[in-house]
Chain A
Amino acid sequence: IAGITQAPTSQILAAGRRMTLRCTQDMRHNAMYWYRQDLGLGLRLIHYSNTAGTTGKGEVPDGYSVSRANTDDFPLTLASAVPSQTSVYFCASSGGQGAADTQYFGPGTRLTVL
């Protein structure tokens, strides 16, 4: 089934540990995004990539890094997790023409940092 997959589904992590959230899409979309969703704050953009090989910072990039080695994959890394990074993380992709297009979201990863 075409779409976006994320792994893991959920994770409990000790503070200070390194963690990579995986995201893969099979729609050959140019653009990909990482959001975090917190109660009452909605979705906030962490990083984005408008095409393979390029990335950009969103609204809340501190403490996170991304890479885009190819079209399909867009991993998000927390180099040293802190409790404030406890959240639900969503990966999304879009056609990326730069004009109006819609985003397709993955199922999310629920991350708890203790």
Chain B
Amino acid sequence: SQKIEQNSEALNIQEGKTATLTCNYTNYSPAYLQWYRQDPGRGPVFLLLIRENEKEKRKERLKVTFDTTLKQSLFHITASQPADSATYLCALDITGGFKTIFGAGTRLFVKA
């Protein structure tokens, strides 16, 4: 079955540093991968989408890479701020966009 792995341990970094979160998957070849942000007590919010034929996608301080050979996506936040503290989820499509599977997420803490 499809499986998505995100680091279950929280990531603690200092303000101003680059945060790097990892998403690994097995047993599937998704056409695209998405990253969402979730704050406590709230629903996930979409951040970035990257397609299988794209190696890298950027949006302001965010950068996502997608290596279909390694079956891995990396999510980077540069010049991190305490306001970036949240849980970040990766998600894969499995049937043309009507079914998406989510990883359990990685909690990020950015210390001032």
How many A-B pairs have beta carbons closer than 8 Å: the answer is 63
Size range of the chain B interface in the assembly: 20 to 34
CB of A62 to closest CB in B, whole Å: 17
A43 to B41, CA, bound (A): 14
What's the tally of chain A residues with a CB closer than 8 Å to chain B? 31
- In the complex, per-residue mask of B32-43: 1 if CB is within 8 Å of any chain A CB, else 0: 101000000111
A78 to B42, CA, bound (A): 22
CB of B34 to closest CB in A, whole Å: 6
User: What residues of B have a CB within 8 angstroms of the CB of A56 in the complex?
Assistant: 98-99
A94 touches B8 (CB 8 A): no
- In the complex, per-residue mask of A83-114: 1 if CB is within 8 Å of any chain B CB, else 0: 00000001010101111111111111000000
User: What residues of B have a CB within 8 angstroms of the CB of A31 in the complex?
Assistant: 97-98
Any chain B CB within 8 A of the CB of A48? yes
B93 touches A42 (CB 8 A): no
A90 touches B43 (CB 8 A): yes
User: What residues of A have a CB within 8 angstroms of the CB of B103 in the complex?
Assistant: 42
A33 to B43, CA, bound (A): 13
B43 touches A107 (CB 8 A): yes
- Which chain A residue lies CB-closest to B104? A42
Q: Which of A36-72 contact B (CB under 8 A)?
A: 40-45, 48, 50, 56, 58-59
Give the top 4 A-B pairs by smallest Cβ distance, nearest first: A105-B43, A42-B104, A43-B102, A102-B46
CB<8 Å pairs between A and B, sample of 26: A4-B43, A42-B4, A42-B102, A43-B89, A43-B102, A45-B99, A45-B100, A56-B99, A59-B101, A90-B44, A96-B98, A97-B97, A98-B96, A98-B97, A100-B32, A100-B49, A100-B97, A101-B97, A102-B34, A102-B49, A103-B44, A103-B46, A104-B46, A105-B45, A107-B43, A108-B43
